[in-house]
A and B are shown apart, each in its own frame.
Chain A
Amino acid sequence: DAKTTQPNSMESNEEEPVHLPCNHSTISGTDYIHWYRQLPSQGPEYVIHGLTSNVNNRMASLAIAEDRKSSTLILHRATLRDAAVYYCPGAGSYQLTFGKGTKLSVIP
C-alpha cells in the first residue's frame, strides 16, 4: 500500500500563505495525489487532488514535484476556519490509506 509522511503539526498566522508538505516515497506512476482536511468533530472533507500537473481550485493549490515523490498543499490566505487536520493519504487503485496528518493551527 502507498504510504505518505507529513509533519505532525504546523502553525500559521492568519491571512498569510501556508505550505503543507507531504512525502510520497512509495507512490506509483498511476496513483493520484489527494488532500483532505478534517475540522473538529466532522468527517474528512475533500480539498484537492492531481496526478502530475499543479492543480488549483477555490479552496487551495496543489504543487506536485516533478518526480512525484512529494507534494505541497498551498492555502493562499489562511483563515481561522482553516484550522484543521490535513491529510495526504496514500492512494491505490481502490482505496486511500490515511496517516495521522498535519494539525494546522492558525494564529489570529
Chain B
Amino acid sequence: NAGVTQTPKFQVLKTGQSMTLQCAQDMNHNSMYWYRQDPGMGLRLIYYSASEGTTDKGEVPNGYNVSRLNKREFSLRLESAAPSQTSVYFCASTQTGNYGYTFGSGTRLTVV
C-alpha cells in the first residue's frame, strides 16, 4: 500500500533557485493538499485541490504555485526559493472532507 508518495525526501536549494515538489496518491482520492511545518509548529495549509481541475489558496500561499496534473498527482513549485521557505512540506489526500486524510512522509527543504 503506497498511499501518498512525496519526492524528493530531502533537498537543499540556494536562494533564488526553483524547484518542484512532487506528490502522488494511489487511493483514487478527490482532494489533495500541501502543508508546511516549521520547527515546533503545527501544519499550515499552502494550497489545496478539492477536486481534479481546481486549486485554491490556503493560509500561506505566497511564493508558491501548484498544479493538479491529474487525479493522482499534485505538485508544488517554488519559483524563487527564499530562506523563509526552509521547512518540512507534507502532501495529503482525502476522498472528501468527511473522510480521514492520508499524509505523505514529507520533503525536508533547506534554502541557504
Hey, which bits of chain A sit against chain B, CB under 8 A?
A: 32, 34, 36, 42-46, 48-49, 51, 87, 89, 91-101
Residue contact B41 to A46, C-beta cutoff 8 Å: no
Q: List 19 A-B contacts (CB under 8 A).
A: A32-B97, A34-B100, A42-B106, A43-B103, A43-B104, A43-B105, A44-B43, A44-B90, A48-B100, A49-B99, A51-B98, A87-B43, A89-B43, A92-B97, A94-B50, A96-B45, A96-B101, A99-B42, A100-B41
Is B75 interfacial (CB-CB < 8 Å)? Answer: no
Answer yes or no: B8 CB below 8 A from chain A CBs. no
B42 near A87 (CB under 8 angstroms)?
yes
Min C-beta distance of B46 to chain A, whole Å: 11
Q: Please state if A100 and B106 are interface contacts (CB–CB under 8 Å).
A: no
Instruction: Report B-chain residues with C-beta under 8 Å of the C-beta of A91.
Output: 97
Is B106 touching A36 in the complex (CB atoms < 8 A)? no
Nearest-Cβ distance from residue B89 to partner chain A, whole angstroms: 10
Q: List A contacts of B105 (CB < 8 A).
A: 42-43
Q: Is the CB of A43 within 8 A of B90?
A: yes
Which secondary structure dominates where chain A touches chain B?
loop
Q: How far is the CA of A99 from the CA of B105 in the complex (A)?
A: 19
Judge whether A98 and B97 touch: CB under 8 Å: no
- Do A34 and B101 touch across chains, with their CB atoms under 8 A apart? yes
Q: Does B40 contact A (CB under 8 A)?
A: yes
Q: A49 near B97 (CB under 8 angstroms)?
A: no
B22 at the interface (CB under 8 A from A): no
Once bound together, how far apart are the Cα atoms of A16 and B92, in whole Å? 32
Distance of A5 Cα from B97 Cα, bound (Å): 20
Cβ-defined contact, B48 with A95, below 8 A: yes
Known: A43-B90, A43-B106, A44-B90. A98 touches B101 (CB 8 A): no
**Complex alpha-carbon distance, A45 and B106, angstroms:** 12
Residue of B nearest to A35 (CB): B100
